[in-house]
Amino acid sequence: MLNVDLTINCDLARRVLTSFIRSEVTRVGFRRVVIGLSGGIDSALSCALAAEALGPENVLAVCMPYRESSSESLEHARLLIEQLGVPTITIEITDMAEPLIRRDPAMSKVRKGNILARARMIVLYDQSEAFQGLVVGTGNKTEILLGYTTLWGDMAAAINPIGDLYKTQVRQLARAMNLPRPILEKPPSADLWIGQTDEDELGFTYAEADKLLYLLVDQRYSPEECIAAGFDRGFVERVLNRVRRNQFKRMMPIIAKVSNRTVGYDFLYLRDWGT
Amino acid sequence: MVCGRIFIMELKLALVQMTTQLGNVAANLEKHLYFIEQARKQGAGLVVFPELSLTGYVLQDLAPTVAHRPTEDDPIFRPLLEASHELDLMVGFVDEDLRHRFYIASAYLSGGRVIHVHHKVYLPTYGLFDEGRFFAWGDSIRAFDTRFGRVGMLICEDFWHASPPYLLWLDGADLLLLSSASPGRGLNHGEKFESTRWVEQVTRSYASLFTIFVAHVNRVGYEDGLNFWGGSVIFDPRGEMVAQAPYHEEALLVSSLDLNLLKRVRARLPLLRDERTALVQRELMRILQSERTLG
């Protein structure tokens, strides 16, 4: 098996990502941000980076438990909030989500999970206006590539400091930033239903997926080269298929082009236009 | 001992490692004038700015709207030309020719005049870069005379290719002014981004291989998710680092260059004297005419 090294220079990553947050928040006239804290490592890392970038008083940590959320999640979020000294608000989403969920007794776990993710998005964007802060995203590169996200739900954000770090690298940077130990050590979970873990649901571990994705995406290996490097053919195909099938989640809605100049095709400006 | 050409033998060189506002030329001009004044106070004779310092880098459809002609009647260039009475300047901008082609350009200003304009000859159009879509390709590589000796200007991708620095060397440049808007990429366990390591390696190599001064000025700041890493640097004709600005922070780096070092180094190491340009030309012609051309 090819030795794939995903180690990053954490000092450099920390410097670039905190400066990114500072630059991209302040240049559009804001100085504050809003982050949904799940108790997991991704949102914890985003929150810690934002607190370092902007000062903890400018970061609102929003906890949004549902009645079935694990109590551990909330405890872990509390540990982080105390460590960072960021202001916080807890808004239960049970009352928001239940009426919709109850309409269909046959509602699947996936539908329910999507409703919860989108209810949290509504809360975050409401707090964004109330706190006058941009919403900071917490999706990592692994889940963005695999599409292990809810469209317009947990992906919705103004900026994302950790979206180019694989899960393995998120863990490494979170350790370097001394995030609370229980957050570093627990198995990753979207916590959308009781007992859910990412790796059970995906059917493979992040450690395996990260190495394969790194070869396929960053190093431009062909699938055959990945298999020759020691990856199981079925695993390579499953991951590739997920990446391809979920391209739609990484894009704005496609617009049917009929004019000479169309948003998304030939009306091209960065978001930082004029700033 | 009798001297030959009489030039100023000390150059106080200022590298301005700055961030820009994307598409806001007036705001960027103000910043140029501010840094020029700071450099003047420190006694600089030449102040150089990064690639597209007057406009920002990822211009896309902004390119035609931020273009300027480097002339006295241009509202952006007028104050810069005025400032160039006191010290020489190199600035980065979008040049528009008379037939409305847009170029990524560097202008060298001195004594109220435009001494030279370089149009970027290599436009990266791959990976995260899309310059060839929005800009015309420059078509010449020329050194030019200044009060500090003969100088050559190149912009970013121009010096990722070995031939432009080589041509400027043969054309008499003893000082290369390299400017970039280089995004940091390739984060791994190393001390620096892969892109940083690569650029530092080649810029130092040109100083060593050509026994010339090489100054590389790179911008800082962000444009959307791109980070520009700075680390502007000067190498002497021995390939030794004279000075370097910090990474990822705005900085004004002012250094004194002893131009007599050119003579001392070349007395010891006559690479320029021994360069066999006729041989290069012969072999290049043969290669270009043979079946396996470079394309």
What confidence tens digit (pLDDT) does each residue in B157-211 have?
999 999 999 999 999 999 999 999 999 999 999 999 999 999 999 999 999 999 9
Contact B187 A13 (CB under 8 A): yes
For chain A, give percent helix, strand, coil, nearest 5: 50, 10, 40
Give the number of other CB atoms < 10 A from CB of residue B9.
15
What dihedral do alpha carbons B73, B77, B83, B89 form, nearest 10°?
Answer: -140
Contacts of A9 in chain B (CB under 8 A): 187-192
Residue-level pLDDT at B1: 44
Q: What is the pLDDT of residues A172-227, one digit of tens each?
A: 999 999 999 999 999 898 888 888 888 888 899 999 999 999 999 999 999 999 99
Residue-level pLDDT at B5: 57
Contacts of A273 in chain B (CB under 8 A): 22-23, 62
**Which residue among B22, B189, B191 places its CB closest to the CB of A270?**
B22
Helix, strand, or coil here: B259? Answer: coil
The interface predicted TM-score of the complex, written ipTM, equals 0.93
Contact A16 B227 (CB under 8 A): yes
How far is the alpha carbon of A23 from chain B, nearest alpha carbon, in Å?
A: 7
Closest listed residue to residue A191, CA positions, set A45, A73, A36, A107: A73
Contacts of B230 in chain A (CB under 8 A): none
Closest listed residue to residue B71, CA positions, set B23, B119, B117: B117
Q: Rounded distance, CA B150 to CA B172, Å?
A: 6
Helix, strand, or coil here: B227? Answer: strand
Give the number of other CB atoms < 10 A from CB of residue B193.
23
Residue A20, chain B, CB below 8 Å: the answer is yes
Residue-level pLDDT at A233: 97
Residue-level pLDDT at B80: 98
Q: Among A18-27, A151-160, A246-255, B3-12, name the one with the lowest average pLDDT.
A: B3-12
Q: Among A204-213, B237-246, B284-293, name the one with the lowest average pLDDT.
A: B284-293
Residue B223, chain A, CB below 8 Å: the answer is yes
How far is the alpha carbon of B58 from chain A, nearest alpha carbon, in Å?
A: 7
Contact B58 A13 (CB under 8 A): no
In chain B, alpha helices (H): 25-41, 77-83, 131-134, 163-170, 194-210, 261-268, 271-274, 277-289
